[in-house]
């Protein structure tokens, strides 16, 4: 009879409490699947007195996370406190140095200190599992690390933040502004009181940095991720995208190019027919382009207590079974430095929306500046400004939205062309530029 795996959990919030419940509810199935029982034997959180609706009878309350991590009576330390620094970092290091295995859902910590922790796990023989850190219940870490171990990966991209996808979905379906949808997301609990981490793209960037490392065998490099959020997207952009056969999503994209590895987070136009374009609301999705195989798309809940607990418990089950994969898919020593592809050299199609002054020759001026930069235009549409009925007489100075789609071109060429257009004063305001990602 194999002894039960004794688990200590630091953090009993949204995720931690659901992990305790899931281990309890799935006890028999987990025992059967792992060949041994999994028991939560000790826990800790900030406040012992807080009401948690959890049955913790017989479970030891540790003085703090470091004490719990060092407890010789636990085999597996589960970190569910969050935060890119202390006490999570020291607690995990303490557990690893004591030869224990660690499970965490902490993307901020793994994106920042993942290599240091992976090294400690390697040195001391424990596992470091973080499936829940990216895409919650979507098994994307395991898929990249183990399922596709034999496949060269060219690109991995996805919708990794449910708050942003919820906002963009509402904006598209109901024609509402970014601010209105953000307010609703906050009211419904999908967005934090300070939503900037989500809507400015930083949450996606942390997850993307982890995926890029797993996909390309490179060291996690959060600083190498180019980040742009969704706050500048307007309902007009979404309408124009729809007319042109696209949807706008906040994507995290990591891809191998001749110039290095691109890691970028930005609003992206994706063909309406693509798998990723079908993903609406708070749902997450990740697509993997592997050499010689059609794209694989995984879709599912990217947040929430139950969804995240599902991945945490799967990671604990691996520890119980004695499965120990290298945290980033290969020994830390053999992870390569990330050769960062500069964003100015990014190549792709672009959507450009300009508010053109209604003068004769304006469109010709715009086209000339694009041609000077060798940018080919796939389509150009002069849209009737909102509020003016088709056929109504327009004043000479009424601004007219002009929407262009370019063929693949280099990012710096687009910037140079638009600077020239602005210098000629034929447009008002700042041009809106959205990159297009082909599937």
Ligand X SMILES: NC(=O)c1ccc[n+]([C@@H]2O[C@H](COP(=O)([O-])OP(=O)(O)OC[C@H]3O[C@@H](n4cnc5c(N)ncnc54)[C@H](OP(=O)(O)O)[C@@H]3O)[C@@H](O)[C@H]2O)c1
Q: Which residues are catalytic, by number?
A: 207
Per-residue tokens: 351: 């959507």
351: part of which helix (H) or strand (E)? strand 347-356
- Of 135 and 290, which CB lies nearer to ligand X in the complex structure? 135
Residue 204 vs residues 29, 178, 209, 222, 261: alpha-carbon distances, Å: 34, 18, 9, 10, 17
**One of 5, 7, 15, 254 touching ligand X (CB under 6 A):** 15
CB of 165 to ligand X, least distance (A): 14
CB of 151 to ligand X, least distance (A): 26
**One of 111, 120, 127, 132 touching ligand X (CB under 6 A):** 132
For residues 102 and 127, is the Cβ–Cβ distance under 8 A?
Answer: yes
CB of 233 to ligand X, least distance (A): 24
Q: Is 217 in the site for ligand X (CB under 6 A)?
A: no
For residues 227 and 200, is the Cβ–Cβ distance under 8 A?
Answer: yes
In the window 18-47, what residues touch ligand X (CB under 6 A)? 44-47
CB of 79 to ligand X, least distance (A): 8
Q: Is 202 in the site for ligand X (CB under 6 A)?
A: no
In the window 143-162, what residues touch ligand X (CB under 6 A)? none
Helices (H) and strands (E) in the chain, counts: 14, 17
Site string for ligand X, 226-265 (x = CB under 6 A): ----------------------------------------
- Of 227 and 363, which CB lies nearer to ligand X in the complex structure? 227
Verify cis geometry, omega within 30 degrees of 0, for the bond prior to 87: yes
Residue 275 vs residues 157, 253, 272, 284, 339: alpha-carbon distances, Å: 12, 15, 8, 12, 29
Distance CA 70, CA 290 (A): 41
Per-residue tokens: 44: 């800790």
Q: Which residue is nearest to ligand X (CB)?
A: 13
- Of 52 and 340, which CB lies nearer to ligand X in the complex structure? 52
Q: Which residues bind ligand X (CB under 6 A)?
A: 10-16, 44-47, 50, 65, 80-82, 87, 105-107, 132, 136, 303-304, 308
């Amino acid at each position: 009879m194999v002894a039960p795996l004794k688990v200590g959990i630091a953090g009993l919030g949204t995720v931690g409490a659901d992990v305790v419940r899931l281990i309890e509810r799935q006890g028999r199935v987990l025992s059967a699947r792992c060949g041994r029982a999994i028991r939560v034997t000790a826990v800790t959180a900030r406040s012992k007195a807080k009401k948690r609706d959890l049955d913790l009878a017989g479970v030891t309350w540790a003085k703090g996370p470091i004490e719990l991590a060092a407890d010789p009576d636990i085999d597996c330390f589960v970190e569910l406190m969050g935060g890119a620094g202390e006490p999570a970092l020291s607690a995990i290091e303490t557990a690893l140095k004591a030869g224990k295995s660690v499970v965490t859902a902490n993307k901020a910590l793994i994106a920042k200190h993942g290599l240091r922790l992976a090294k400690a796990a390697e040195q001391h023989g424990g596992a470091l599992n973080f499936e829940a850190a990216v895409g919650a219940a979507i098994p994307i870490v395991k898929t990249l690390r183990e399922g596709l171990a034999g496949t060269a990966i060219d690109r991995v991209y996805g919708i990794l933040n449910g708050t942003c996808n919820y906002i963009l979905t509402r904006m598209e379906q109901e024609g509402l502004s970014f601010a209105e949808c953000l307010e609703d997301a906050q009211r419904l609990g999908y967005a934090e009181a300070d939503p900037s981490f989500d809507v400015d793209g930083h949450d996606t960037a942390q997850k993307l940095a982890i995926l890029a490392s797993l996909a390309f065998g490179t060291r996690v490099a959060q600083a190498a991720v180019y980040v742009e959020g969704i706050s500048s997207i307007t309902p007009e952009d979404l309408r124009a995208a729809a007319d042109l056969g696209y949807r706008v999503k906040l994507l995290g994209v990591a891809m191998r190019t001749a110039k290095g590895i691109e890691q970028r987070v930005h609003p992206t136009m994706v063909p309406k027919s693509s798998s990723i374009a079908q993903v609406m609301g708070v749902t997450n999705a990740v697509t993997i382009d592997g050499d010689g195989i059609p794209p694989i798309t995984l879709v599912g809940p990217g947040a929430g207590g139950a969804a995240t607990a599902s991945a945490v418990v799967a990671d604990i089950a691996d520890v119980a079974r004695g499965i120990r994969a290298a945290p980033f898919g290969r020994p830390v020593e053999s992870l390569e430095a990330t050769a960062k592809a500069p964003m100015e050299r990014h190549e792709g199609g672009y959507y450009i929306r300009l508010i053109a002054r209604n003068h004769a020759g304006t469109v010709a001026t715009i086209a000339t500046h694009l041609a000077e930069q060798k940018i080919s235009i796939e389509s150009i549409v002069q849209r009737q400004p909102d509020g003016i009925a088709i056929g109504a007489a327009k004043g000479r100075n009424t601004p007219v939205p002009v929407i262009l789609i370019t063929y693949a071109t280099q990012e710096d060429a687009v910037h140079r062309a638009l600077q020239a257009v602005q210098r000629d004063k034929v447009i008002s305001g700042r041009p809106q530029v959205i990159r297009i990602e082909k599937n």
